[in-house]
């Protein structure tokens, strides 16, 4: 089954490695570094999973949009710090968390 995965907030230098990893698993990788671009990709493509790197709480704004308009999309949060207050919110939704830096083996377990 082909999976379309949107990666939000990752360094562009990682795009090729992530893309090759996803394509090898019969999927397609999309990349965004803004809320506007993320919304455009979600609205124009059939995304099954979002992988969001969380640098600060403001980065989580896209989660509200996904939760409201795309409740069936799985979300994986990758954070450089664990935020106790938002972990509670994640556990109530279709979200999971990974620590930074992203490890492809951990991503593979999620997808």
Binned at pLDDT 50, 70 and 90, residue 89 comes out as low
**Cα–Cα distance for residue pair 29/7, rounded to 1 Å:** 7
DSSP per residue, 73-94: SEEEEEESS--HHHHHHHHHTT
Q: pTM to 2 decimals?
A: 0.73
Residues 45-85 pLDDT 10s: 999 999 988 776 667 788 889 989 999 999 988 766 555 55
**Cα–Cα distance for residue pair 66/35, rounded to 1 Å:** 11
Residues 16-43 pLDDT 10s: 999 999 999 889 999 999 999 999 999 9
* Residue whose tokens read 């993320």: 38
**Cα–Cα distance for residue pair 35/40, rounded to 1 Å:** 9
């Amino acid at each position: 089954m082909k999976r379309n995965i949107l990666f939000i907030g990752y360094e562009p230098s990682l795009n090729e490695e992530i893309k090759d990893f996803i394509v090898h698993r019969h999927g397609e990788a999309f990349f965004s570094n803004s809320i506007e671009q993320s919304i455009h990709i979600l609205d124009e493509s059939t995304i099954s999973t979002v992988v969001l790197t969380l640098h600060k709480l403001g980065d989580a704004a896209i989660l509200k949009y996904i939760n409201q308009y795309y409740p069936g999309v799985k979300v994986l949060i990758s954070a450089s710090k664990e935020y106790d207050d938002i972990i509670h919110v994640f556990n109530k939704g279709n979200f999971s968390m990974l620590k930074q830096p992203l490890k492809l083996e951990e991503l593979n377990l999620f997808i």
